[in-house]
Chain A
């Protein structure tokens, strides 16, 4: 039975978006498609337990979900009405891409766009999406319901936009792909630091977008950013699952091919276009990736790039936090701590564990152990990722000795 449960869990992570996207093409209705997809997974638990796990679980789930949708539509006697839409669709494009553009339609608020894509394309649970956006699960559930209702009521279509509308429709898509990657890069909950399936699906989406729009500079920059960050993933966790800081990482484990590919894309993007949010983030990642050792990191360059990024993001508190950390490495922990001070009053960071963790690190480097212990305690209380919790707990107990 555990084998079936494992196979199901894996199929959920890997195939959810594809099953849903294919089913949406039949139903033209997100709620109905979600229901059919859930039904398919529920039926899998029963059928796989009895008959064994199919060779291609994703294909099995897609077939069951689609058949269920067709059944339901027939029962509603609605198939006739919806059939012409099905036949006029361009079937050759990637279903997932179509679903992404629907979820990121400009008639939806940005909040709704990112929530929908994270939930429907990436298959994150409502709780995980909520944590990624620093809001409660109930608020996120209500947000998703409202967004799906708007898609259905206003008849937002399921299609990849025509070439003349592509540039405008792309911006929210990129934001969402980026979010998907960062959520996978440091999973909000669970036993391991990263969720490789999420980062892989973000990379794949970014590659598909780059393939479709090779001249779109922001797409190139985003792909560069994801490649350079992903290149370091193997070195971020010790064999025992312990989180490794950039300073502790074995740089020979970094994927040089990915770094080279990312830097080449970034150079190309920066040559042709003014800096964008993604190209500056990619440049920061590239400075780290190209430093021969932690000690030789160019913190001046990094702090300067964060200052540019702060302007491009209209003073994002998370970017301000990163800039403060870079200043701490450039000018010493006292300077870093001073930069962090105004951020402690920032409501958007009130439940953000990295602020407390950064304060704790500066305080402990300054020898202010008692305050550092309190700050590590705060960071621990706000962190659900087990690898990060272990790291913080180890720091805390080292100080207490």
Chain B
């Protein structure tokens, strides 16, 4: 088994603009993902929009995210899987894959043994 993080990137303005109905569909898709993945999900959270971030860099404490981009990290999952194909099949269930402004980046986690 290997661990992967699923980093969900997108435009937070578009996420905030979801109607109540769209939001319910969005959340239901995440529920479906968690059901399909079962105990392969080791963790995961939705993040507050990036303007609420605080960044430390050298001696400075800065308001905002490390990278100022239109599409920012909006949430993540930590997953355990046999191989990349298993992760790809599960990640395709995430609504952010199909939303147009957003996407899901899969990063293997370094195995420190």
Contact = CB atoms under 8 A, between A and B. Distances in A.
A155 B2 contact: yes
A153 interface: yes
A156 B85 CA distance: 7
B108 A153 contact: yes
A235 B5 CA distance: 56
A107 interface: yes
Interface residues of B, number: 8
Interface string A89-107: 0000000000000000101
Interface in B57-97: 82-85, 88
Nearest to A107: B84
Contacts of B85: 156-157, 159, 161
A155 B108 contact: yes
- Name the prevailing secondary structure of the A interface residues: loop
Nearest to A156: B84
A86 to B, nearest CB: 13
B88 A107 contact: yes
Interface string A139-171: 000000000000001111101010000000000
Nearest to B88: A107
Interface string B99-111: 0000000101000
Q: Which of B82, B83, B106, B108 has the most CB of A within 10 A?
A: B83
A345 B101 CA distance: 37
Contacts of B108: 153-155
Contacts of A154: 84, 106, 108
A155 B88 contact: no
B46 to A, nearest CB: 25
Contacts of B83: 155-157
B88 to A, nearest CB: 7
A13 B106 CA distance: 38
A190 B50 CA distance: 58
A107 B85 CA distance: 9
A156 B88 CA distance: 10
Interface string B16-42: 000000000000000000000000000
A107 B83 CA distance: 12
Contacts of B84: 105, 107, 154-157
A155 B87 CA distance: 10
A28 to B, nearest CB: 10
A156 B82 CA distance: 10
Contacts of A157: 82-85
Interface of A: 105, 107, 153-157, 159, 161
Given A107-B84, A156-B84, A157-B82, 18 more contacts: A105-B84, A107-B88, A153-B108, A154-B84, A154-B106, A154-B108, A155-B2, A155-B82, A155-B83, A155-B84, A155-B108, A156-B83, A156-B85, A157-B83, A157-B84, A157-B85, A159-B85, A161-B85
